[in-house]
Amino acid sequence: MVDRRRTGGLLVELFIVMVGVLVALAFDEWREEQQRAEVLNNVLVAMVEETERNLAAVREVRAYHEEMRDVFNDYANRFEETREWAFPDEEFEGMRLAELSDAAYQSGLMTGLLPRLEFGTLQEISRAYARVESYNRDNERFALATLQTDFKDASRYLRILNFHFASLNDSETRLIPAFEALSEQLDAALEARH
């Protein structure tokens, strides 16, 4: 009888310990899930802010690039007709590029939490940052083209500048709706999380 009481007591103690361990593990899992949710919220907030800054930067330079595309096109056509070299000093204010950031996006990738978002949000994130990569590649191509240009070849130089401004304007024209759609999607994702 004593053995049965001792065994029963041990089983009760073991049961209590096991329940305690399971409760502690469940609490730990709940706490970790709360931390992941908080980090994902922080990433989303940072991406909203980054998207707004990127959108403002693109809008700021787009009109200038459109104007420069037309100006350099006119000067290139004039050069082809007259063979007289002229540079549009009065209109040209130098190279302007939208300073686009992807730090919040990269942070989201590094945390590994982006896949927790809905498909539509992931799709808009992918579209917008693919456009950013395209914009950066256009700038790299221009830099390579100008390095290979003999500035004595006025026609080629004007065509390269015209092409570069047209490419920038085209990229920026595609970036604006991509950032607008991303901004709406991120706002909706944040709203859904609260």
pLDDT recorded at residue 147: 66
Q: Is residue 51 part of a domain?
A: yes
Q: Is the pLDDT of residue 106 over 60?
A: yes
Q: Please compute, for residue 21, the number of CA atoms within 13 A of its CA located in the half-sphere on the CB side.
A: 6
Residue 8 located in a structural domain: no
Q: Is residue 5 part of a domain?
A: no
> What is the pLDDT confidence band of residue 52, given thresholds at 50, 70 and 90?
very high
**What value does the CA radius of gyration of the chain take, rounded to a whole number of Å?**
29
189: left (phi over 0), alpha (psi -120 to 50) or beta: alpha
pTM over 0.85: no
What per-residue confidence (pLDDT) applies to 22?
A: 87
Query: Is residue 50 within 8 Å of residue 121, measured between CB atoms?
Result: no
Supply the range of the domain harboring residue 59.
Answer: 42-193
DSSP SS3 for 34? helix
Return the residue matching tokens 């899930």.
33
160 domain-assigned:
yes
Q: Which of 46, 51, 54, 188 is nearest to 119 (CA)?
A: 188
Write down the mean pLDDT value for the chain.
86
The b-or-e profile of 52-72 (16+ CB within 10 A means b, else e) is ebbbebbeebbebbbebbebb
Of the given ranges (61-70, 97-106, 153-162, 181-190), which has the lowest mean pLDDT? 153-162
pLDDT score of 1 more than 60:
no
* Domains identified in the chain, total number: 1
Report yes or no on 25 lying in a domain: no
Asked, for residue 79, whether it belongs to a domain, the answer is yes
pLDDT confidence of residue 111: 87
pLDDT attached to residue 55: 95
Q: Is residue 9 part of a domain?
A: no
The verdict on residue 34 lying in a domain is no
Please report the pLDDT score of residue 2 as a whole number.
59
